[in-house]
Structure formats: structure tokens, C-alpha cells
Copies of this chain bind each other. A is one copy, B any other.
Amino acid sequence: MTEQEERDDAAQALATEIRRIGGRLKRRLREISGVGDMPGSQIAVLLHLESEGQATISDLARAEGMRPQSMGAIIAALEAAGHVQGRPDPADGRRTLLSLTERCAAWMQAGRIARQDMLAGAIAARLSPEEQTQLGAALPLLARLVE
């Protein structure tokens, strides 16, 4: 076996494992990544808005790697639930600036998301601090594969 073939085999083995775990991840992330009834996609948006203050639908779509139409549906659900609100951008009439409602911001600051975050709970319960560090370092590598 040539060195090139060995490298290909290594990549192939890794691909197989990613497929297997990725498949599971895809299915389970829906259940474990939510907070109560709220899906992980909505949580991600709230956390983004909490740290950034405000953003447009297109901003959020880019940040999460999806289409504006898809993000629009997520935002519509969050608006209907009274968690985010939009106001027109005074500087650009095309844009709608989204931000957390006061009630939602207070709810998040009270740490209720953190305490109910099943994914964070699973991480804390099942991974040692060292393992968490190891996983955190590897995530950007995974991100590079899907960008």
C-alpha cells in the first residue's frame, strides 16, 4: 500500500465514523438540544441575539448556515411566542432589526435556559472537563468539513 493509499484509508475510516455518529447526532440533536418544548434552532437564535443584541433575518441565516426563508419560519415562531421582536432599520428600509423582548431577555438572564438546557446537562454529566476541552478543540475541525 502506498502512502497515498494509507492516507485515503484513514480519511475513509474517519468518514465512516462521521456518517455513523453524524446520523445519530442528526436524529438525537432534535430531542436533546431543545429546552423543554423549544427546538435547538430557536435556542441558537436566542443565544445569538443575547450576545449580539440585534440582527436581521439574513444575518441569522448566515450565522446558522441556512436560507433566509428557513430562518424566517424560526423567527415567526419566536415572534408568535413573544420572545423576539422586530423594528424597521431606520437606516435601511429593507431590513428588520430583531432583538429579544424584555421578558425573554430577563428569562434568559435568570439562567432558566441554562438550567433547562438538556444538551449542556448531558455534557456536564457525561464528559469530564478534560474531555470537554478535547471536544471543544475538535469542533472547529468538523465545522471546516461542512463549510
* Chain B: CB-nearest residue to A33: B19
Residues of B within 8 A of A29 (CB): 18-19, 22-23, 26, 146
Asked if A12 contacts B117 (CB within 8 A), the reply is yes
Asked if A25 contacts B26 (CB within 8 A), the reply is yes
* Complex CA distance for A17 and B33, rounded to whole angstroms: 11
Q: Is A144 an interface residue (CB 8 A)?
A: yes
* Complex CA distance for A22 and B145, rounded to whole angstroms: 12
Query: Which bucket holds chain A's interface residue count?
Result: 35 or more
Name A8-27 residues within 8 Å CB distance of B.
Answer: 8-27
* Complex CA distance for A22 and B29, rounded to whole angstroms: 8
Q: Is A104 an interface residue (CB 8 A)?
A: no
Q: Which of B11, B143, B144 contacts A124 (CB under 8 A)?
A: B11
Given contacts A15-B123, A24-B147, 10 further A-B contacts (CB under 8 A): A11-B123, A14-B123, A17-B136, A19-B29, A23-B44, A24-B64, A24-B143, A24-B146, A26-B26, A122-B145
List of 4 A-B pairs having minimum Cβ-Cβ separation, nearest first: A138-B138, A15-B120, A28-B146, A11-B124
